[in-house]
Amino acid sequence: MREYDFDGLVGPTHNYGGLAVGNVASARHEGQLSNPRAAALQGLDKMRFVRELGVAQAVLPPHPRPHLPTLHALGFRGSDEEMMAAAAGAEAPLLRVCSSASAMWAANAATVAPSSDTADGRLHLVPANLDAMFHRAIEAPVTHAVLSTIFADPARFTVHRPLPGARHFGDEGAANHARLAVPDAPAVHLFGWGRRSWEGGEAASDGSGRHAPRQAREASEAVARLLQLDPARCVFARQHPRGIEGGAFHTDVLAVANEGVLLVHELAFDDVAAVEAELRARLGLALRVELAREAELPLADAVDAYPFNSQLLTLPSGEMAVVAPTDARHNPAARRFLERVVGSGGPVRAVHWLDVRESMRNGGGPACLRLRVPLEEAEVAALGARVVLDEALEAELRAWVTRHYRDRLLPADLADPVLAREALRAIDELSAILQLGSVFAFQR
């Protein structure tokens, strides 16, 4: 089995809309000038770097934006241009909502369990419903369609429907999930959650702070059932309320795991010592935990620089490396923590710094941009689209981005019907490059 990082390609309408409540970086950069072309090329640069490290790399397409079916469903009528103009003039930011390129953060696309871990021996994927944010919730049906096209072989894959809607089962995907595995022991799945939907028979509130928790424990439990995981190999850990209030809206903002290594901030979970004890009871002494205390790495620095929202990778040599954003390099506390991990004598032997600032300014680091999918060789051969990145596909994608993407975009530009036509034309061409067929509604 080999892990493939499925990275989300940044979409042509990448902009700083400030839509993600609770995301500090998203709010800080609202309304600023973005560069969709640079963002997409930065994403491809990261994919190439990871592939050159020897880690398998694949891609997921951006979603069609503006999402005209949503405008139809909200009662807008007339031509595409008339609907967009009316939505742009509405009091609510409806056009920004329907034009967000947030599907680029593929860690929110789904939760995955490899065939080695599931009861029926198939790889399972549960697309996230993302019900906490409207601009992300409209991604779920498209994500399901895309994943169902890529993982189409029913003998090897099961792509479930997203959990039923409403915040009672709000699910944020792999951003709140980690798989840990050590030799000679079954893998353990760690699910982070922020709130319970039912307490004392009543629906619980979403929290009283500025930044409401997104993931429901009930959703995590339902996802684990759908993935056909052994309940004895699942750990459900509550996110620390202070962490959420400080901007750690997903577990992967304060924790990252790979095989038998967990890098974690003390405010990632309500009781991080108890979480470590549960994991160690299942995985034994082979588990290695690198804990960052608040005194070493203040929460504000962890949220600002995203040292945990890095990719922790196993290289062909068996050693591990961290692929971190340059923001973490420029933050003294974040840099010192990652350098301590590298110098601790454990399996993590290097840290590499990559510029993904266009994503970081919108609140997502290197780990947000990828969905981890462990695949057997026969499962790779059964994939139903051209998504595994090689030199030829990378060259085509770079040429495609250069051909179709603008190098400057303000949220106000989303009302331009020319941009909408450019974006949909680009996605139509991309679906042919990736051999996805007519997977999107506007193509049918």
Catalytic residues: 172, 250, 368
Nearest residue to 177 via CA among 191, 163, 188:
191
Helix (H) or strand (E) segment spanning residue 187: none
Nearest residue to 250 via CA among 113, 350, 106:
106
Q: Which residues pair with 2 in a beta bridge?
A: 375
Q: What is the DSSP string of 55-68?
A: -EEEEEPPPPSS-H
Sheet holding 320-325: strands in order across? Answer: 311-314, 320-325, 348-354
Q: How far is CA 144 from CA 63, 155, 214, 271, in A?
A: 12, 18, 20, 34
Q: Which residues pair with 58 in a beta bridge?
A: 6, 388
Dist CA 9 CA 227 (whole Å): 26
Q: What is the DSSP string of 131-174?
A: TT-HHHHTTHHHHHHHHHHHT--TTTEEEPPPPPSSGGG---GG
Q: Residue 398 has what DSSP assignment?
A: H
Tokens of 307: 């040292």
- Residue 219 CB contacts under 8 Å (≥ 6 apart), including other chains: 129, 163, 169, 170, 171, 193
Dist CA 386 CA 38 (whole Å): 24
